[in-house]
Amino acid sequence: EVQLVESGGGLVQPGGSLRLSCAASGFTFSSYWMHWVRQAPGKGLVWVSHIKGDGSRTNYADSVKGRFTISRDNAKNTLYLQMNSLRAEDMAVYYCARAEVAGGFDYWGQGSLVTVSS
Amino acid sequence: QSALTQPPSASGSPGQSVTISCTGTSSDVGGYNYVSWYQQHPGKAPKLMIYEVTKRPSGVPDRFSGSKSGNTASLTVSGLQAEDEADYYCSSYAGGTNVFGTGTKVTVL
């Protein structure tokens, strides 16, 4: 059974940093692109970033480029999102999701809430 | 990276059909056959309903169907059931990135 479990969310002050993790199981992690998608309270889904299975390619939404870094450890079957210079508008539930580069997100984690507030 | 445009709401009675549109540009919806649709119930993670415009994952009822014409994709839910009441989002590949739609709340009357 495919499982994605996020962790690392919490309360952080504006300008602060946080690292999210997504532990994957039930599939060959290194064979899949992985994505982060976020959803602000009461708002819609927004794609944040993706990374190729071997970690060689990454891309970001313009709103997080230069502040967020996606990475993965295939030995640990874990996806990461390092978030720096956090802003109020980054406050959201962050989901990790499995998909090919072109989308079709077939498995999602339960989400991890990031709250940015002083 | 502008969000794809969806109507805020749609509704239908049980047994009826409802169609949701998703309008983008030639750089996303119109440029690739990589449109997908997601159903999200309150407090839950999204669920993939349609991928690559028309394909249904295993376990998704055939009441759900997708199509595309030019820069607009559509999701049709036939034979509406109470459990279909949810938010629906489209998504498209956009040449190196992905973009989601603004979301549509479907109400079963």
- A24-42 pLDDT, tens digit per residue, is 999 999 999 999 999 999 9
Mutate to test the interface with A, among B98, B100, B102, B105 (most CBs of A within 10 A): B98
Mutate to test the interface with B, among A38, A45, A100 (most CBs of B within 10 A): A45
- The mean pLDDT value of chain B amounts to 96
At residue B1, does pLDDT exceed 80? no
Q: Which helix (H) or strand (E) holds B35?
A: strand B35-40
Mean pLDDT of B68-97: 96
Contacts of B47 in chain A (CB under 8 A): 108
Contacts of B101 in chain A (CB under 8 A): 44
At B55 the pLDDT is: 95
CA distance B80 to A90: 36
At A31 the pLDDT is: 95
Structure tokens at B81: 């059931």
At B38 the pLDDT is: 98
Contacts of B97 in chain A (CB under 8 A): 47, 50, 59, 61
Beta bridge partner(s), residue A46: A38
At B5 the pLDDT is: 98
A71-76 LR contacts (CB < 8 Å, sep 24+): A72/A29, A72/A34, A74/A29, A74/A30, A76/A23
CA distance B99 to B90: 9
Length in residues, chain A: 118
Listed as ranges, residues in chain A with pLDDT below 70 are none
Residue of A45, A61, A102 lying closest to B93 (CB–CB): A102
